[in-house]
A and B are shown apart, each in its own frame.
Chain A
């Protein structure tokens, strides 16, 4: 079984609908992340969580919200979907690397992605 799973894998929805993307992991990691990937822009961080009680905004959090229900589960919600939220969404987890002069060296492990289309 995959260590990081995402549901659904594909979703087509209409403008204004509420959408929830779910992520589960069996790696036992405390740190979890949500990214979106767009052609030519690469991966951009939406939200991240370093433990169950910790939620932080990434670089593009507007229009999104998250919930960390347990160590193993991290959900991403689009409260009112709009067409420019059409993208590939990835969940990731990380262990804590040894660090290098205060710089994080975490290795991130990604799920298979959710392809979301907003019409």
Chain B
């Protein structure tokens, strides 16, 4: 079983809608969570990171962690076609190695 699980999608939304992405993790020791964005034919790039529980906002993006249910979320407000990409959640395990989810493909249609 993977330590980080993520629905691969694709998730298709109209422009302007809120995109909601979710991951679950199994290791209760995870404390630091990242979201990477990967455009087609490109490598992943760090989008946001957050510690422990709670919300973190960065412009149109909000990262949320619920440690009690081992659930991490990414919300994209006012989605744009340029947000079309694959989004990967990740967390370093106790050996410092990043555990990635499979990635969710998001398509924002004009």
Interface centre among A41, A43, A110, A112 (most CB of B within 10 A): A43
Is A113's CB under 8 angstroms from B43's CB?
A: yes
Is B41's CB under 8 angstroms from A112's CB?
A: yes
List residues of chain B with CB within 8 A of the CB of A100. 31-32, 51
Tell yes or no: B42 within 8 A of A by CB. Answer: yes
- Interface 0/1 of A15-43, CB less than 8 Å to B: 00000000000000000000000011111
Number of interface residues of A (CB under 8 A): 27
* A-B contacts, 23 listed (Cβ < 8 Å): A4-B43, A41-B102, A42-B4, A42-B88, A42-B100, A43-B100, A44-B100, A45-B98, A48-B97, A90-B43, A92-B43, A100-B31, A100-B32, A102-B94, A103-B31, A104-B97, A105-B49, A106-B92, A109-B46, A110-B43, A111-B43, A112-B42, A113-B42
Which residues in A have some Cβ–Cβ distance to B below 8 Å? 4, 39-45, 48, 58-59, 90, 92, 100-113
- Other than the known A43-B100, A104-B96, A108-B98, what 5 A-B pairs have Cβ atoms closer than 8 Å? A40-B102, A42-B88, A103-B94, A109-B46, A110-B45
